């Protein structure tokens, strides 16, 4: 999502301070001026501006109440709020108390204003683009990472990881336990990818139990094998002793019928550009989703790699499965 405006809230209707106006002009960011908290909220809800600037110099009580209201709503709180105050400690502290993301005193040098606004926006972007529970980058950052590698002509693999039987686990245990499993998977992916390929690897969280990690194509076997082996070693301990010993439990399907539910496994669909030419991240995402769905049709924790080239795909070639993770573990043991 692109944010193209700033909203300037001044209860007394005065113009923005000169350093603020200069920064807005230099960055070609149009601003909308509002004088009531209702209008501030309406602007934030309507367009989610890039920045909210709140002038608390003349009427600090009204201005800070507007900031507090902005930050109290979960939808508008994501808008970074900068409060401009008089040059006194009381106003400075009060602005932070109501949830402001940045506070500047009257008389702050223009160069410092610019630097601090840019830092504020970087922090805001970082917090916006990561998943709140796993702290991994979300969809926008995943797309940007794939695009970056395409533009650099890197040979890479996009690996779409998804949990099997996760919904049944949530139904039997709780969403709290389910969130813990998601965090465990995120930690496994992060540690294995970073431990194997360091800064050449990227791990993102699409949402729920869906993750996508990007690594050099040559490292697929090592990374994916380590992921599925580590997951299979740790996940049984997220079940009760009875379920863990049995290796399954009875759950209800959507028709209310009881059936055996195995312990969770992880399926990873892998796409590389070794034999294909991609021009947009959406093409990678579409094929990775296809490979993930194919992996989920197989039993156990498994990763499948698309070995087709562009011509084979046009001819309806089929994905090539990799071995079940359990077989790999047995061979290594």
CATH class for the domain made up of 6-128 = alpha beta
Distance CA 83, CA 101 (A): 8
pLDDT at 247: 94
Provide φ and ψ at 177, rounded to 5°: -65, -35
Question: Do 231 and 301 contact (CB within 8 A), yes or no?
Answer: yes
- The residue assigned the tokens 């050449």 is 200
Distance CA 290, CA 303 (A): 13
pLDDT at 333: 27
Confidence (pTM): 0.74
- Average pLDDT of each block of 10 consecutive residues along the chain (333 residues)? 79 91 95 95 91 95 96 90 92 94 95 96 83 86 96 97 95 94 96 96 95 97 97 97 94 80 96 95 96 95 90 52 40 29
Name residues whose C-beta falls within 8 Å of residue 80's C-beta, 6 or more positions apart in sequence.
Answer: 50, 51, 52, 101, 102, 120, 121, 123, 124
pLDDT at 127: 77
- Domain boundary assignment for the chain: 6-128, 139-332
List the beta strands (DSSP E) in the chain. Answer: 6-9, 31-34, 51-55, 81-85, 102-105, 156-164, 202-207, 210-216, 248-252, 258-262, 265-272, 302-305, 320-324
pLDDT at 259: 87
The count of C-alpha atoms lying within 13 angstroms of the C-alpha of 184, restricted to the half-sphere facing its C-beta, is: 20
Which of helix, strand or coil describes residue 122?
Answer: helix
Which of helix, strand or coil describes residue 80?
Answer: coil
Name residues whose C-beta falls within 8 Å of residue 27's C-beta, 6 or more positions apart in sequence.
Answer: none
CATH no. of 139-332: 3.30.70.270
pLDDT at 87: 87
pLDDT at 312: 52
pLDDT at 311: 64
On the question of a common fold for 6-128 and 139-332, the answer reads: no
Which of helix, strand or coil describes residue 149?
Answer: helix
Report how far apart the first and last C-alpha atoms of the chain are (Å, whole number): 49
């Amino acid at each position: 999502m692109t944010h193209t405006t700033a909203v300037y809230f001044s209860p007394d209707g005065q113009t923005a301070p000169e350093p603020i106006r200069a920064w807005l002009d230099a960055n070609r960011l149009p601003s909308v001026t509002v004088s009531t908290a209702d209008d501030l909220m309406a602007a934030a809800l309507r367009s989610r501006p890039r920045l909210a600037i709140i002038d608390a110099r003349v009427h600090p009580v009204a201005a800070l109440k507007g900031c507090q209201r902005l930050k109290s709503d979960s939808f508008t709180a994501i808008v970074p709020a900068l409060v401009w105050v008089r040059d006194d400690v009381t106003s400075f502290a009060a602005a932070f108390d109501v949830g402001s993301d940045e506070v500047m005193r009257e008389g702050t040098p223009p160069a410092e204003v610019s630097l601090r606004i840019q830092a504020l926006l970087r922090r805001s972007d970082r917090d916006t683009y990561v998943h709140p529970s796993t702290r991994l980058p979300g969809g926008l950052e995943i797309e940007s990472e794939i695009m970056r590698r395409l533009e650099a002509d890197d040979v890479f693999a996009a690996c779409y990881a998804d949990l099997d039987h996760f919904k049944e686990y949530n139904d039997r245990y709780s969403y709290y336990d389910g969130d813990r499993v998601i965090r465990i998977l995120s930690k496994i992916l992060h540690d294995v990818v970073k431990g194997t390929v360091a800064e050449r690897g990227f791990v993102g969280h699409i949402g729920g139990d869906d993750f996508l990690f990007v690594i050099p194509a040559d490292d697929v076997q090592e990374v994916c094998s380590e992921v599925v082996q580590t997951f299979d070693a740790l996940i049984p301990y997220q079940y009760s002793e009875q379920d863990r010993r049995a290796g399954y439990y009875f759950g209800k399907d959507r028709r209310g019928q009881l059936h055996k539910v195995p312990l969770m496994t992880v399926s990873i669909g892998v796409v590389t550009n070794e034999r294909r030419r991609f021009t947009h991240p959406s093409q990678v995402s579409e094929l990775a989703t296809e490979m993930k769905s194919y992996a989920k049709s197989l039993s156990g924790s498994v990763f499948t790699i698309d070995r087709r080239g562009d011509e084979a795909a046009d001819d309806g070639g089929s994905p090539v499965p990799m071995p079940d993770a359990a077989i790999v573990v047995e061979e290594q043991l």
